[in-house]
Copies of this chain bind each other. A is one copy, B any other.
Amino acid sequence: MTTTPARGRPRDPALDTAILTAALELFIAQGISAMSIEQVAKRAGVGKPTIYRRWPTKERLVADAIEDLVGADIRWPDAEEIAATPPQQLVRRNIDAAARTAADPKFRALVAQIYGSAVTHPVLMQTYWTHYIAPRRELAIAMLQHAQADSAVAPDADLEVIVDMLAGAVTYRVLQPNPPNFRQMKRYLTAAYRQVGLLP
């Protein structure tokens, strides 16, 4: 989903979509270092100022473009919902969407490009982390704390490490030779959630 504009930019959903799509395609094909706003503008058929009015940097644009693919299908619960809903129910609600996303070849390509730039061009990882991963981790931690209160997760477990184990396993798995299809990915996610106590 396209998020709230960062600097009150005027909205034209069709234009936003064209720009985000062009950015995603270029990012997947070339990575963050090799791509430019100029290329995105050309591919989307707009002027560079049209992009800069919406996104202050290449990294903000690519972070939003990534999120457009990665976050589109998953219905993230908010803090109140997490407090009110059994964690296993929240996991079950999203497991098909998560498996579908993770089994998408575009997701593999994105993960490879994001990880690939984490050391040589760290500002992309930092930007995506700040805007999308960090808030989502807070929700995941809240869900795990709820599961701890229900005794499904050990009281002394390191919840940050558990979040890494879940996210790390999935991204590592999709980059291995023979990446899983949807059905295999769903079984995989089920096993991982079980391992940490988020599914019975």
In the bound assembly, the distance between CA atoms of A186 and B194 in angstroms comes to: 25
Are A157 and B195 in contact, with the CB atoms below 8 A? yes
Residues of B within 8 A of A177 (CB): 122, 125-126, 129
Q: Are A171 and B168 in contact (CB under 8 A)?
A: yes
Q: Is the interface of A mostly helix, strand, loop or mixed?
A: helix
Q: Which of A100-149 contact B (CB under 8 A)?
A: 108-109, 111-113, 115-120, 122, 125-126, 129
CA distance in complex: A12, B43 (Å): 53
Chain A interface category by residue count: 35 or more
Q: Given the interface contacts A158-B195, A191-B158, does A118 sit within 8 Å of B164 by beta carbon?
A: no
Residue picked from A157, A165, A166, A170, most chain B C-beta under 10 Å:
A165
From the candidates B111, B161, B169, name the one contacting A164 in the complex (CB within 8 A).
Answer: B169
In the assembled complex, the CB of A85 is this many whole angstroms from the nearest CB of chain B, namely 24
Q: Determine which of B113, B120, B129, B161 lies in contact with A195 in the assembled complex, contact meaning CB atoms within 8 Å.
A: B161
Give the CA-CA distance A168 to B74 in the complex, in Å. Answer: 22
CA gap between A150 and B113 in the complex, in Å: 41
CB of A144, distance to nearest CB on chain B (Å): 12
- Provide 20 A-B residue pairs closer than 8 Å at the C-beta atoms, listed in order of the A residue: A108-B118, A113-B116, A115-B115, A115-B116, A118-B176, A119-B175, A126-B177, A129-B177, A157-B191, A157-B195, A158-B195, A161-B192, A162-B195, A164-B169, A164-B192, A167-B168, A167-B172, A168-B171, A168-B173, A169-B169
Q: Do B164 and A173 have beta carbons less than 8 Å apart?
A: yes
Report the bound CA distance from A135 to B200 in whole Å: 31
Known A31-B116, A116-B116: A169·B161 in contact at CB below 8 Å: yes
Task: Tell whether A76 is near chain B: CB-to-CB under 8 Å.
Answer: no
Whether A23 sits at the interface, judged by CB under 8 Å, is: no
Of residues 29 to 43 in A, which have CB atoms within 8 Å of B's CB atoms?
A: 31
